[in-house]
Amino acid sequence: MNRKWKSIGFAAFAAALSLSASFAEAAGVLTIGRREDSTTFDPIKSAQNVDNWVFSNVFDVLIRVDKSGTKLEPGLAESWTVSDDGLTYTFKIRDAKFSDGSPITAEDAAFSLLRIRDNEGSLWSDSYKIVETAEATDPKTLTVKLKTPSAPFLSTLALPNVSVLSKKAVEAGEDAFAELPTASSGAFTVKEWRRGDRVILEKNPNFWQADRVKLDGVEWISVPDDNTRMLNVQAGQLDTAIFVPFSRVEELKKDANLSVLIDTSTREDHLLINHEHGALAKKEVRQAVDMAIDKKAIVDTVTFGLGTVANSYIPKGSLYHYDANYQYPYDPAKAKAMLAEAGASDLSLNYVVNAGNEVDEQIAVLLQQQLSKAGITVNLQKVDPSQSWDMLIAGDYDISVMYWTNDILDPDQKTTFVLGHDTNMNYMTRYKSDKVKDLVAAARLELDPKKREAMYAEIQKTAKDDVHWVDLYYSPYINVARKNVENFYQNPLGRFFLEDTVKN
Amino acid sequence: MHRYRFVLLRPLQFLPVIFGISIITFILVRLIPGDPARVLLGTRATPTAIANIRAQFGLDEPIWLQYFYFLRNLGNGEMGKSILYKIDVLNLIATRIEPTLALVICSVLLSIAIAVPMASIAARNAGRAPDHAVRIISTFGIGFPPFWLGLMLIILFSVKLDLLPVSGYGSTLGDKLAHLILPSLTIALSLSTVLTRSLRAAMIEGLKSDVATAARARGMPERIVFWRHVLPNSLVPTINLLAVNTGWLIGGTVVIESVFALPGMGQLLVRAIFSRDYMVVQGVAMVFACATVLVNFLADIATVAADPRVKL
């Protein structure tokens, strides 16, 4: 019996050894490790980044955002014109084919736009309610009429969720399409989806820019644990991994086989303030809170110096960012004096913290120490992230750290959420300013870029003066790739330009 | 054959157990604060969009009515639709069963493969140096947290020695087995310590038993006494110990699947809990509950078959 077991053990070990040779991926196929797997291939039914990354590999849009994340460029729409009243948009669709060989027509484009507006399962209906009609006036011309003029409308067409889908393929069965799309308009097609594990993409030979695509395929592989994901790249079993924690950057940079890629993002972390709670209703008190926070210290400790101090809710490098915006100096003594003057010298704040998030918990401890120097008592209340969201909505907090990333290049989307005095209480802050409210609405309708820029500068100045929230820091995307991978790039809106990536 | 009568009667007891579990998981998952619609829509959630999602998935109905629908669906062999993945929960679970099942089986086999020799050495040298060595090794096995142990094994076998895959599952049988070695070993290193202790105690008792003494009196060599009489008898309590540990083992796979990126039910459950995907949490909890009940039932049958004296 002993001998038998021994020989079985040896056999298993030998098998394992011989197998290890097969882990290396095929040449030309790029493997990317990420935290979570996709949830669907129907672009209108997801609002998750994990899905958007893959949607933009598989489907093309009418209008794209360029690599810098600040300009629009033609996608499947070769060109477009806007009527003088700003209500009618006419798009010329380029000669292109779906992966199944059928032509991409204006009818497919109209179908996709109306579907995201009307489909019961669409998570994006609200964003496209502004569309009055969309029709194919001829096979290559799409005419869209809006209910009101809208400066950001063109940039909303660049969202991966409103990608051009094949009407025929979707109508053949929505559920089947969501599982494995049979026709794609983008650089890659979906070959296989192993749920929970990986999405396997293959080069689409019918893509209108097929010459540009160097990779034979892409595999998006789910590796939820940050440590395991990094080890995979270090061991050479994955070509790239995204979401490198700040704390790992220095160590990975020392590995000669790896390049750490730091790309500009639109992420901004900020401290929400509940304007309806006691002394926080006073502008001077909020200004004192801002002055009591040493943002530089947060950037250095939490992001290991990889972030930059934020001075506006519109991130640096984004359209209409006002770089000359005022920045409150770090001055705890003055903050203390201001609080005393406002009759709030015994200010005590309830801080809702996302438990289990390393960065959020670090910021909480730092802020608690910093604010105490200005005489502010901070009580930390750690809760699960989806619970904290409920508490913020209900107004059951004084301060809390949150972040935002843009998914369209136009500032209108974030501005409306944060300062538009809409249904979400100005992103849970309960901030009120008639001046800002009117400016946000006017900036949406203003079609002259120069005038719009001035309006957004005014909004940023006023919001800063009122301390609608405290801007903390901007941080980049941090990804890691083996040295043989070139042009693995993520633009500020999060799109991966895999059509340009090369694996040597 | 009346010793086996329980095989027919016992399943009748399962129904109330599983019914009870369904109520508890149904209520518990809804008691955790948080709203699936809000998680699904992310930071851009508007009140109308949230209301729309809640209506679509019946989350705006009173909780007792939701439970009624859940039971009705269950009667039809369905478990409802996942909010996150928008497909039927049973279909979703079906794609995730294999890695978890394979992990559990490999871990148990590996634990036994580790525990039997360790316990034999300890029992045959009770009170002497080898016995103490085994005890010290066992204490280490329990002391290390599994996720840390898993990462250390990856660093050693995959990064430094480059012998085994870091993480994931495979598509062919051999590939899958290669991917299962490290995660199973991680679980086995802690599970085997529990088994070793129980086996050692049973073996020491067996070595002192009348059967063993009688065998020795007939002139049977000590080695044969051990393999033929002591070992089989000491396996009976071990089977039950394994069955009792099924729940613990399933809990262990949740952590290990995340560390090793195995696309099994544990990972599915974790993500479902974070996104408050109620239907999926209920579904996976039900599958785990049924598995535990079934394993214990099979262990009872095995015990009765292994030992003619046992009556249930």
Total domain count for chain A?
A: 3
Which residue type is seen at B161? Answer: L
pLDDT digits (tens, 9 = 90+) for A160-186: 999 999 999 999 999 999 999 999 999
- How far does the CA of residue B198 sit from the closest CA of chain A (Å)? 22
> Where does a domain end: A145, A171, A197?
A171
> Where does a domain end: A171, A193, A221?
A171
> Which of B159, B164, B263 lies at the smallest CB-CB distance from A234?
B159
- Do residues B28 and B278 lie in contact, with contact meaning Cβ atoms separated by under 8 Å? no
Phi, psi of A70 (to 5 degrees): -125, -10
CB-CB neighbours of A283 under 10 Å: 13
CB contact under 8 A, A196 and B113: no
- Minimum mean pLDDT among A2-6, A108-112, B47-51, B111-115: which range? A2-6
- Do residues B242 and B195 lie in contact, with contact meaning Cβ atoms separated by under 8 Å? yes
| Parent domain of A383 | 267-474
Three-class SS of A62-117:
CEEECCCCCCEEECCEEEEEECCCCCEEEEEECCCECCCCCECCHHHHHHHHHHHH
- pLDDT grade for B1, boundaries at 50, 70 and 90: low
- pLDDT grade for A14, boundaries at 50, 70 and 90: very low
Residues of chain A in contact with residue B49, where contact means CB-CB under 8 angstroms, are 123, 125-126
**Domain co-membership, A131 together with A160:** yes
**Domain co-membership, A248 together with A259:** yes
Interface of A with B in 344-373 (CB under 8 A): none
Phi, psi of A184 (to 5 degrees): -130, 150
- Please give the share of chain B, as a percent, with pLDDT higher than 90: 23
- pLDDT grade for A365, boundaries at 50, 70 and 90: very high
Phi, psi of A278 (to 5 degrees): 45, -125
- How far does the CA of residue B50 sit from the closest CA of chain A (Å)? 9
The yes-or-no verdict on residue A434 having pLDDT over 50 is yes
The yes-or-no verdict on residue A295 having pLDDT over 50 is yes
- pLDDT grade for B50, boundaries at 50, 70 and 90: confident
Using DSSP's 3-state secondary structure scheme, residue A381 falls into: strand
CB contact under 8 A, B46 and A17: no
CB contact under 8 A, A387 and B33: yes
Give the predicted TM-score (pTM) of the model: 0.88
**Domain co-membership, A153 together with A227:** no
Residues of chain B in contact with residue A227, where contact means CB-CB under 8 angstroms, are 151, 259
**Domain co-membership, A164 together with A72:** yes
**Domain co-membership, A280 together with A398:** yes
Residue written as token pair 């309610």: A129
- Do residues A443 and A456 lie in contact, with contact meaning Cβ atoms separated by under 8 Å? yes
- Please give the share of chain B, as a percent, with pLDDT higher than 70: 99
Residue-level length of chain B: 312
Residue A426's nearest CA partner among A444, A440, A442 is: A440
CATH code, domain carrying A227: 3.40.190.10
**Domain co-membership, A140 together with A25:** no
- Burial readout B55-66 (b: 16 or more C-beta within 10 A, e: otherwise): eebebeeeeeeb
- Kind of pairing between the strands at A469-482 and A240-241: antiparallel
**Domain co-membership, A492 together with A466:** no
- How far does the CA of residue A352 sit from the closest CA of chain B (Å)? 14
- The sign one gets for the Cα dihedral A55, A58, A62, A66 is positive
- Do residues B43 and A389 lie in contact, with contact meaning Cβ atoms separated by under 8 Å? no
pLDDT digits (tens, 9 = 90+) for A203-258: 999 999 999 999 999 999 999 999 999 999 999 999 999 999 999 999 999 999 99
Residue A203's nearest CA partner among A215, A185, A219 is: A215
- How far does the CA of residue A260 sit from the closest CA of chain B (Å)? 19
Q: Which two tokens stand for residue B177?
A: 């087995």
pLDDT digits (tens, 9 = 90+) for A38-80: 999 999 999 888 999 999 999 999 999 999 998 999 999 999 9
**Domain co-membership, A319 together with A394:** yes
- The sign one gets for the Cα dihedral A51, A56, A59, A61 is positive
B285's torsion region: left (phi>0), alpha (psi -120 to 50) or beta?
Answer: alpha
Contact of A2 with chain B, judged by CB distance below 8 Å, is answered with no
Could you give the CA distance from residue A28 to residue A307 in angstroms, rounded to a whole number? 34
Residues of chain B in contact with residue A386, where contact means CB-CB under 8 angstroms, are 33-35, 38-39, 274-276
pLDDT digits (tens, 9 = 90+) for B126-183: 888 988 998 888 888 777 888 889 999 999 999 989 899 999 998 889 999 999 999 9
- Please give the share of chain A, as a percent, with pLDDT higher than 70: 95
Please tell me the predicted confidence (pLDDT) of residue B235.
81
The yes-or-no verdict on residue B281 having pLDDT over 50 is yes
Residue A104's nearest CA partner among A208, A24, A33 is: A208
**Domain co-membership, A494 together with A371:** no
Residue A37's nearest CA partner among B43, B253, B276, B261 is: B261
- pLDDT grade for B260, boundaries at 50, 70 and 90: very high
Please tell me the predicted confidence (pLDDT) of residue A134.
96
> Where does a domain end: A131, A149, A171?
A171
**Domain co-membership, A257 together with A272:** no
CATH code, domain carrying A423: 3.10.105.10
Please tell me the predicted confidence (pLDDT) of residue A374.
94
CB-CB neighbours of A136 under 10 Å: 17
CB contact under 8 A, A23 and B48: no
- How far does the CA of residue A376 sit from the closest CA of chain B (Å)? 29
- pLDDT grade for A26, boundaries at 50, 70 and 90: low
**Domain co-membership, A316 together with A196:** no
- Minimum mean pLDDT among A223-232, A273-282, A364-373, B36-45: which range? B36-45
* Cα nearest neighbour of A416 on chain B: B44
> Which of B49, B167, B270 lies at the smallest CB-CB distance from A228?
B167
- Do residues B115 and B199 lie in contact, with contact meaning Cβ atoms separated by under 8 Å? yes
Please tell me the predicted confidence (pLDDT) of residue A315.
95
- Residue A75 C-alpha from the chain's centroid: 20
Task: Report how far apart, in Å, the C-alpha atoms of A29 and of each of A126, A359, B18, B282, B294 are.
Answer: 38, 34, 46, 38, 43
CATH code, domain carrying A140: 3.90.76.10
Residues B11-39, mean pLDDT to the nearest whole number: 85
Residue written as token pair 């034999």: B120
Exposed (0-12), middle (13-18) or buried (19+): which is A102, by Cβ within 10 Å? Answer: middle
CB contact under 8 A, A196 and B264: yes
Q: Which two tokens stand for residue B208?
A: 């002192």
**Domain co-membership, A225 together with A279:** no
Residue A38's nearest CA partner among A29, A48, A28, A30 is: A48
Residue B123's nearest CA partner among B5, B209, B54 is: B209
CB contact under 8 A, A386 and B39: yes
- Minimum mean pLDDT among A13-27, A81-95, A167-181, B165-179: which range? A13-27
Please tell me the predicted confidence (pLDDT) of residue A499.
94
- Please give the share of chain A, as a percent, with pLDDT higher than 90: 85
Could you give the CA distance from residue B285 to residue B21 in angstroms, rounded to a whole number? 8
CA atoms within 13 A on the CB side of B279: 26
Q: Which two tokens stand for residue A369?
A: 């120490």
The yes-or-no verdict on residue A147 having pLDDT over 50 is yes
Phi, psi of A170 (to 5 degrees): -70, -45
The yes-or-no verdict on residue A16 having pLDDT over 70 is no
Residues of chain B in contact with residue A37, where contact means CB-CB under 8 angstroms, are 263
Q: Which two tokens stand for residue A3?
A: 């001998």
Could you give the CA distance from residue A411 to residue A319 in angstroms, rounded to a whole number? 7
- Burial readout B142-163 (b: 16 or more C-beta within 10 A, e: otherwise): eeeebbebbbebbbebbeeeeb
Task: Report how far apart, in Å, the C-alpha atoms of A482 and of each of A192, A200, A204, A263 are.
Answer: 25, 20, 25, 16
Report the mean per-residue pLDDT for chain B: 87
- How far does the CA of residue A281 sit from the closest CA of chain B (Å)? 24
B11-17 long-range contacts (CB < 8 A, ≥24 apart) are B11/B297, B14/B293, B14/B297, B17/B289, B17/B293
Residues A467-492, mean pLDDT to the nearest whole number: 96
CB contact under 8 A, A231 and B154: yes
